């Protein structure tokens, strides 16, 4: 059971999301970004669900930056965000984006995916997110990454873990990886957990970016 914080100015919607998530997790609700920051500072919080109507992503830059600086996994729920805006949210440090209309069906699954170290975004956008992140990485940063423990620990991966890691780099889903390697999805998830720990990355997106740089 994880500690989930919902930030929303719509009490009816927040209660609906709480009902969905409380099947498996402990839920708290706040109605302003400042209240969210205060709660995060004082209470254990694993995931932040952000109602986009409760945060002006164009003007509340300072408050949103405070949330991003906590390194907390955050899922944005918005209305008809264009793909470029979704991609920008991911490369800015948020962990996923979900449409309001899909929240009733996808919210619990999206939250659990974030808890496992995944991101939540339309699958076809994943390569674009990775591409943007790599473009933002300058030569100095790349050189620095190549001397980090994450790079040095690449040799600690087992042969099968390396196979899984390379498929993550290619943007494959757990289901596809399981099929190609003739293993279960549960085994794929176990390999990913081990890979994240060994390479000191927080999710499959950062793993893919890292591997794009250090594996040719």
Question: So what's the pLDDT on residue 69?
Answer: 67
Q: What is the pLDDT of residue 139?
A: 40
214/205 Cα distance (integer angstroms) = 15
pLDDT at residue number 143 = 47
Shared fold status for 3-121 and 129-214: no
Judge whether residue 87 has pLDDT over 70: yes
**Residues 173-209: tens digit of each pLDDT:** 888 889 999 999 889 888 888 888 888 887 777 787 7
Q: Which residues of 155-189 are buried (b: 16+ CB within 10 A; e: fewer)?
A: eebeeebbbbbebbbeebbbeebbeeeebeeebbb
Q: What is the CATH number of domain 3-121?
A: 3.40.50.2300
Query: Span 121-136, mean pLDDT?
Result: 74
> Tell me: the pLDDT tens digits for 105-118?
999 999 998 888 88
Q: Which CATH class is domain 129-214?
A: mainly alpha
Q: Where are the domains of the chain?
A: 3-121, 129-214
């Amino acid at each position: 059971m994880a500690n989930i914080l919902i930030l929303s100015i719509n009490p009816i919607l927040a209660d609906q999301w709480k009902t969905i998530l409380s099947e498996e997790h402990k839920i708290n609700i706040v109605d302003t970004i400042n209240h969210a920051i205060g709660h995060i500072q004082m209470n254990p919080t694993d995931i932040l669900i952000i109602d986009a109507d409760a945060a002006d992503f164009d003007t509340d830059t300072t408050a949103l930056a405070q949330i991003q600086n906590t390194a907390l996994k955050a899922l944005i729920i918005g209305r008809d965000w264009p793909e470029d805006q979704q991609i920008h949210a991911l490369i800015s440090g948020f962990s996923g984006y979900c449409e309001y209309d899909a929240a009733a069906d996808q919210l619990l699954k999206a939250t659990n995916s974030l808890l496992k170290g995944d991101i939540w975004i339309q699958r076809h956008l994943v390569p674009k997110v990775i591409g943007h992140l790599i473009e933002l990485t300058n030569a100095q940063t790349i050189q620095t990454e190549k001397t980090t423990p994450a790079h040095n620990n690449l040799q600690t991966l087992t042969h099968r873990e390396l196979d899984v890691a390379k498929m993550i780099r290619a943007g494959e889903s757990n289901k596809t990886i399981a099929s190609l390697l003739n293993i279960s999805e549960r085994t794929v998830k176990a390999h990913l957990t081990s890979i994240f720990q060994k390479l000191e990355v927080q999710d499959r997106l950062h793993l893919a970016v890292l591997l794009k740089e250090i594996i040719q």
